[in-house]
Chains A and B, each alone.
Chain A
Amino acid sequence: MQQCEPADLSRILTPILDRHGRDASRLLQMLREVQDACHYIPSEAIDRIAAHLGVPRVDVEGVAGFYSFLSTRPVGEYRILFSGNITDQMLGKDELMEYLCNKLWVEPGKVSEDGLVSVDSTSCTGLCDQGPAALVNGWPLTNLDRNRLDLIGELIRARKPVAEWPPMLFETVDNLRRTDALLGEPLVPGNGIRAMLSRGAKETLAEMDTSNLRGRGGAGFKTASKWSFCHAAIVEEEGGVICDVGGNPERYIVCNADEGEPGTFKDRVLLNSYANLVFEGMTVGAHVVGASKGFLYLRGEYRYLLEQLEKVLQKRREAGLLGDNILGQTDFSFDIEIHLGAGAYICGEESALIESLEGKRGRPRNRPPFPVTHGYKGRPTVVDNVETFACAAKIAERGGAWFAAMGTAQSTGTKLLSISGDCTSPGIYEYPFGVTVRQILADCGAKDPYAVQVSGPSGTLISWKEFDRKIAFEDLPTAGAFMVFQRKRDLFQTARNFVHFFAHESCGFCTPCRVGTELQKKIMDKIASGHGTASDLEEMRSLGHILKTMSHCGLGSSAANPVLDSLEKFPDVYERKLKALAFEPAFDLDGALETARKITGRDDEWAHL
Chain B
Amino acid sequence: MSKTITIDGLAVPFQEGQTIMDAALAAGVYIPHLCHNPEFKPHGSCKLCTVNVNGRNVASCTMPAVEGQLVLSDIAELNAERLALTQMLFVEGNHLCPACEKSGNCQLQAVAYYLGMMSPHYNHFYPQREADASHPDVMLDRNRCIYCELCVRASREVDGKNVFGLSGRGIKTILVVNSASGLLGDTDLAVTDKAVQVCPTGAILIKRQGYAVPIGQRVFDRLTIKDVQTGGSHE
Contact = CB atoms under 8 A, between A and B. Distances in A.
Interface string A327-346: 00000000000000000100
Interface stretch (B23-31, B42-50, B219-227): B42-50
A511 interface: yes
Interface residues of B, number: 42
Interface residues of A, number: 44
Most B C-beta atoms less than 10 A away, residue of A67, A509, A519: A509
Contacts of A511: 45-48, 85, 88-89, 146
B70 interface: no
A162 to B, nearest CB: 27
Given A58-B176, A62-B176, A546 B168 contact: no
A57 B180 contact: yes
Interface in A479-500: none
B92 A515 contact: yes
A320 interface: no
A565 interface: no
Interface in A563-593: 586-587
Contact of B44 (A46, A366, A512): A366
Interface in B69-105: 81, 84-85, 88-89, 91-92
Given A506-B171, A508-B147, A515-B171, A58 B178 contact: yes
Interface in B134-155: 146-147
B162 A505 contact: no
Contacts of A56: 162, 165, 178
Interface string B151-182: 00000000000111111111111101111100
Interface string A47-63: 10000000011110110
A506 B176 contact: no
B40 interface: no
Interface string A521-552: 01000000000000000000010001001111
A66 B169 CA distance: 5
B211 interface: no
A105 B84 CA distance: 44
Contacts of A546: 81, 84-85
Contacts of B92: 514-515, 518
A510 interface: yes
Contacts of B62: 366
A67 B172 CA distance: 12
Interface string B49-70: 0100000010100111000000
B125 interface: yes
A92 B63 CA distance: 47
B170 A504 contact: yes
B123 interface: yes
B165 A510 contact: no
Contact of A515 (B44, B81, B88): B88
Contacts of B122: 519
Given A58-B176, A550-B81, A550-B85, A515 B165 contact: no
A109 interface: no
A551 B168 CA distance: 19
A186 interface: no
Question: Interface centre among A43, A368, A518, A587, by most B CB within 10 Å?
Answer: A518
Contacts of B176: 58, 61-62, 65
B166 A62 contact: yes
Contacts of B180: 43-44, 46-47, 57
Contacts of A368: 63-64
A65 B169 contact: yes
Contacts of B170: 503-508, 514, 517-518
Contacts of B91: 515
Nearest to B52: A549
Given A511-B89, A546-B81, A550-B85, A518 B165 contact: no
B223 to A, nearest CB: 25
A477 interface: no
Nearest to A587: B123
A39 interface: no
8 contacts: A56-B178, A59-B165, A62-B166, A66-B167, A511-B45, A511-B46, A514-B173, A550-B47
Sorted nearest first, the 7 A-B pairs with minimum C-beta distance are A65-B167, A58-B165, A56-B162, A508-B173, A515-B88, A506-B170, A586-B123
Interface of A: 43-44, 46-47, 56-59, 61-62, 64-68, 344, 361, 366, 368, 503-512, 514-519, 522, 542, 546, 549-552, 586-587
